[in-house]
Structure 1
């Protein structure tokens, strides 16, 4: 079972790589309590500060150390010129504003990342801490949906849980999607 987790709420400010806000830390602690009774073997996370902090809080309660993974980088699937027709025209201008460092042409890197993560971890309880667009693309992959579908999945909330496990044939299926945890008062 692979549990996809979006990082907790990021702290405000003009920083390029923000950490978690106080609310974000509370969100992640609540999620850690929800996962506490699962036999999680590993918590992988992207390199950003907010995914690293989220993974660290989760592992304090789960007993598995955080492991950084470039497979969980913050990426945005952007269509190539040849594939722009896969997306509605009203989205084309938005793609122009995607920072160069985050561009993943036709989602090729995310698709390869998902296949690698699934093949290596589908038979164990693993938590993957990443970003909203990454989770949306992974879910789109599991559903074998058209490329633009990732833009209609969500919004993926902070510190939410999406769980993907194998069906009887060993194929990935979405079992839980974007599940929020209730914060204690």
Structure 2
């Protein structure tokens, strides 16, 4: 009786290379989503939740085409967001990243992800839920399960349509079963990871 959460970053969106924040999936993003759908076709999903942003909603629809028994539902708890600013133990190398975010945006992001953790990281019995969301949201869930320092979400990256799995058995804490599994994606479809990570 294990509760599984399958966390997926949306597919590549069409205007990502031009710096636009949202948009439909690119042709490559649609191929990523189709491969993800094939990968999940044998999973007995009970629910599919997705960020309301277009790139996540379209990825969810691709999965639903192969899993007609589930209807994707949007959740504002899965929006892209920034959950912290600079913290006392955050390495100084990350400080420039936060320059374009306001205190209000960070406060809202933290409140959202606190609510998301309270909503989804709750034992629900023998359940399989898919969350199609964004890189930072998945990083926060992984950090939470590993009980890592809060700033560590910045060091966790997820490729487009990479698959992360969390599981909880009765009487046990949540476990990171798999992170950023890309076995369903050939090399030419593996996008979204930084070429080099900051130290």
TM-score by length of 1: 0.88
Distance 2:21 2:7 in 1: 23
TM alignment of 1:130-149, pairs within 5 A: 130-149=133-152
Alignment of 1:94 with 2:97, yes or no, is yes
Residue by residue, what CA displacement relative to the aligned partner does 1:116-173 show, whole Å, maximum 9, x if unpaired? 112265641110000001000110000010011111112x100010000114524211
Q: Tell me the equivalent position of 2:114.
A: 111
**For the residues of structure 2 that align with 1:175 and 1:184, how far apart are their CA atoms?**
23
Q: CA RMSD in A?
A: 2.3
1:43 aligned counterpart, secondary structure: strand
- Residue 55 of structure 1 contacts residue 129 of structure 1 at CA under 8 Å; is this kept in 2? yes
Residues 74, 130 of structure 1: 8 Å contact kept: yes
Give yes or no for contact 1:4–1:130 (8 Å, CA) kept in 2.
yes
Unaligned runs of 5+ in 1: none
1:129-168 aligned within 5 A: 129-154=132-157, 156-168=158-170
TM-score (norm. length: structure 2): 0.82
- Give the Cα separation in 1 of the matches to 2:141 and 2:63: 21
Q: Which residue of structure 2 lines up, in the alignment, with residue 77 of structure 1?
A: 83
Listed as ranges, the gaps of 5+ residues in structure 2 are 189-199
- Looking at structure 2, the residues matched to 84 and 106 of structure 1 have their Cα atoms a distance apart, in angstroms, of 15
Instruction: Give the match for residue 59 of structure 1.
Output: 64
2-side partners of 1:106 and 1:11: how far apart? 25
Cα offset, 1:96, TM superposition? 1.6
| Higher strand fraction (1 or 2) | 1
